[in-house]
């Protein structure tokens, strides 16, 4: 299989990130938590130019797709067990589609992923997608991130706003563990690689691929606790499907993303994203959470309002206090779809358009890295 080897000088790689290389036809990876020195040379596979398949970097973070339970019938009592390398090894057909390199970023349920991890992932992916290709990856044509589904949409939307490349970035997970009867992870992973490797996936923003559907990272949300058909872009619909061995697209996305984005996290300290919290509207909500967020130095508060912007009396009073203290308030909705319109109104708050609260929070966090002006922040919500 391997025609020749190239000696690649590998000295120092990204601090705090994992490191991996492809050797002798299989992926080798190691999760690292500190800066790492490798031997000065390391053999790296370089296929003949004429047989060169797209090179896809798989960044593994954990989730159900990497989990195992005690028996095939057990679909819920599982824990993270498999590495990204294990996931790739379970799907030999991937090698017909792409050359893959696996980066084991973490191996955790998705609710363990933090905003600091989003920044580190964006920095890792941006480094990997540099036009000339940087060590240790070389030229990368697309990226797949394996991720737990619970918080998948949050990491996906952050990458949609911060990856500065037209190359495809695909986030994939599974609803059933790898040990399950009818596990959905293997086909989801193969389809994710097919999407990431295909030129028609370029310049579409970050994409979420599960259950043969391709959704925009901006629009999609987890819509069912258990079903394999859980991801939905309510009111907007899928971008396309994976059929046979390739993606088929039906529509694009209008909002700014990836290489058109004004958000640059390359120099951002991962822990330094501005604090933004979410306050949920419900009957009789007294706004105690809003006061607590302000006391914790929140710079923004997203409100999961009832309907198209309405809040309870106590919450409204607390939000007014927060606004007067200089906190940016953004109105989203708890309904699950539709716009909160009206632009800036209701005591100076901004409209989060049709972004759900967890997505609006991410956009507000990034907006606050570039401006504190409410008018500018409204422009940002109108654009992304
Ligand atoms: N608990 C899992 C997670 O990491 C759920 C999943 O991946 O489907 O989000």
Q: For the segment 119-144, what is each residue's pLDDT rounded down to a tens digit?
A: 999 999 999 999 877 678 999 999 99
pLDDT at 279 over 70: yes
CATH architecture assignment, domain 274-383: 3-Layer(aba) Sandwich (3.40)
pLDDT digits (tens, 9 = 90+) for 136-190: 899 999 999 999 999 999 999 999 999 999 999 999 999 999 999 999 999 999 9
Query: Is 309 near ligand 1, meaning CB less than 6 Å away?
Result: no
Output phi, psi for 192, to 5 deg. -65, -40
Give the 3-state secondary structure of residue 294. helix
Per-residue confidence band for 27, with pLDDT thresholds at 50, 70 and 90: very low
| Strand ranges in the chain using DSSP code E only, listed in sequence order | 5-9, 19-23, 26-30, 41-45, 55-60, 67-69, 78-80, 99-104, 142-146, 169-172, 207-210, 213-216, 221-222, 231-232, 240-243, 246-249, 276-280, 300-305, 328-333, 350-351
CB of 150 sitting under 6 A from ligand 1: yes
Q: Sketch the domain layout of the chain as residue ranges.
A: 5-259, 274-383
Provide the pLDDT for residue 81.
96
Half-sphere exposure of 258 (CA within 13 A, CB side): 24
Cα 186 to Cα 211: distance, rounded to the nearest angstrom: 11
| pLDDT above 60 for 116 | yes
- For Cα atoms 344, 346, 349, give the angle at the middle one, nearest 5 degrees: 50
Q: How confident is the model at residue 298 (pLDDT cuts 50, 70, 90)?
A: very high
The model's pLDDT over 51-106, given as tens digits with 9 standing for 90+, comes to 689 999 999 999 999 999 999 999 999 999 999 999 999 999 999 999 999 999 99
Backbone angles phi, psi at 245, to 5 degrees: -110, 15
CA 177 to centroid of ligand 1, rounded, Å: 9
For residue 131, what pLDDT is reported? Answer: 84
Please report the pLDDT score of residue 6 as a whole number. Answer: 31
| pLDDT value, residue 132 | 77
What would you measure as the largest C-alpha separation in the chain, in angstroms? 71
Helix (H) or strand (E) holding 155: helix 152-162
Residue 9: predicted pLDDT: 30
- Cα gap 144→170, rounded to integer Å: 5
Report the alpha-carbon distance of residue 8 to residue 41 in Å, rounded: 6
Averaged confidence pLDDT in the chain: 88
* Among 61, 67, 177, residue to substitute to test ligand 1 (most atoms within 8 Å of Cβ): 67
Q: How far is the CA of 126 from the centre of ligand 1 (A)?
A: 25
- pLDDT at 113 exceeding the cut of 60: yes
Lowest-confidence pick of 8-17, 18-27, 190-199, 279-288: 8-17
Q: Which atom of ligand 1 is nearest to the CA of 174?
A: 8
Percent of the chain surpassing pLDDT 70: 85
CA of 187 to the centre of ligand 1 (A): 17
Asked if residues 221 and 230 have their Cβ atoms less than 8 Å apart, the reply is no
pLDDT at 241 over 90: yes
Where does the pLDDT of residue 342 fall: very low under 50, low under 70, confident under 90, or very high at 90 and above? Answer: confident
DSSP 284: T
* Greater model confidence, 267 or 33: 267
CATH topology agreement for domains 5-259 and 274-383: yes
Instruction: Tell me the CA–centroid distance for residue 12 and ligand 1, in Å.
Output: 33
Q: Which residue has the tokens 């991962």?
A: 270
CATH architecture assignment, domain 5-259: 3-Layer(aba) Sandwich (3.40)
Q: What's the CA gap between 332 and 338, in Å, rounded?
A: 10
For range 334-358, the mean pLDDT: 87
115 ligand 1 Cβ < 6 A: no
Q: Which residues are catalytic?
A: 64
pLDDT over threshold 80, residue 18: no
106 in contact with ligand 1, CB cutoff 6 A: no
Pocket test for ligand 1, best of 148, 155, 183, 185 (most atoms within 8 A of CB): 148
In DSSP terms, which residues pair with 300 in a beta bridge? Answer: 276, 328
Q: Is the CB of 64 under 6 A from ligand 1?
A: yes
Q: Are 98 and 210 in contact (CB under 8 A)?
A: no
The alpha carbon of 119 and the centre of ligand 1 are apart by a number of angstroms equal to 20
Strands 328-333 and 300-305: parallel
């Amino acid at each position: 299989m391997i025609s020749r080897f190239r000696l690649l000088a590998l000295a120092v790689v990204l601090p705090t990130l994992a490191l991996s290389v492809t050797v002798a036809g299989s992926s080798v990876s190691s999760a690292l938590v500190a800066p790492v020195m490798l031997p000065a040379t390391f053999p790296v596979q370089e296929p003949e130019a004429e047989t060169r398949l797209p090179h896809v970097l798989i960044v593994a973070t954990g989730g159900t797709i990497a989990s195992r339970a005690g028996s095939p019938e057990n679909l819920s009592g599982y824990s993270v067990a498999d590495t990204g390398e294990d996931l790739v090894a379970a799907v030999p057909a991937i090698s017909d589609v792409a050359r893959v390199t696996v980066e084991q970023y973490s191996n955790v349920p998705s609710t363990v992923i933090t905003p600091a991890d989003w920044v580190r992932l964006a920095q890792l992916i941006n480094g990997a997608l540099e036009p000339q290709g940087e060590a240790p990856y070389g030229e990368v044509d697309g990226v797949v991130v394996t991720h737990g589904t619970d918080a998948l949409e949050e990491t996906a939307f952050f990458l949609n706003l911060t990856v500065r490349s037209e190359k495809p970035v695909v986030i994939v997970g599974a609803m059933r563990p790898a040990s399950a009867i009818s596990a959905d992870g293997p086909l989801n992973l193969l389809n994710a690689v097919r999407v990431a490797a295909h030129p028609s996936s370029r310049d579409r923003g970050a994409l979420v691929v599960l259950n043969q559907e391709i959704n925009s990272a901006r629009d999609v949300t987890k819509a069912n606790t258990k079903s394999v058909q859980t991801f939905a872009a309510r009111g907007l619909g899928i971008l396309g499907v994976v059929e046979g061995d390739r993606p088929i697209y039906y529509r694009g996305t209008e909002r700014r993303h990836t290489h058109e984005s004004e958000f640059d996290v390359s120099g951002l300290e991962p822990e330094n994203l501005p604090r933004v919290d979410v306050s949920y509207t419900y009957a009789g909500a007294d706004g105690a959470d809003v006061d607590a967020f302000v006391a914790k130095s929140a710079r923004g508060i997203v409100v999961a309002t009832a309907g198209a912007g309405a809040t309870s009396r106590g919450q409204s009073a607390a939000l007014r206090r927060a606004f007067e203290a200089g906190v940016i308030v953004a109105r989203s909705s708890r309904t699950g779809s539709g716009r909160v319109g009206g632009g800036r109104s209701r005591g100076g708050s901004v409209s989060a358009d049709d972004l759900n609260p967890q997505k609006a929070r991410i956009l507000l966090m990034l907006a606050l890295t570039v401006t504190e002006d409410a008018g500018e922040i409204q422009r940002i919500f109108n654009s992304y």
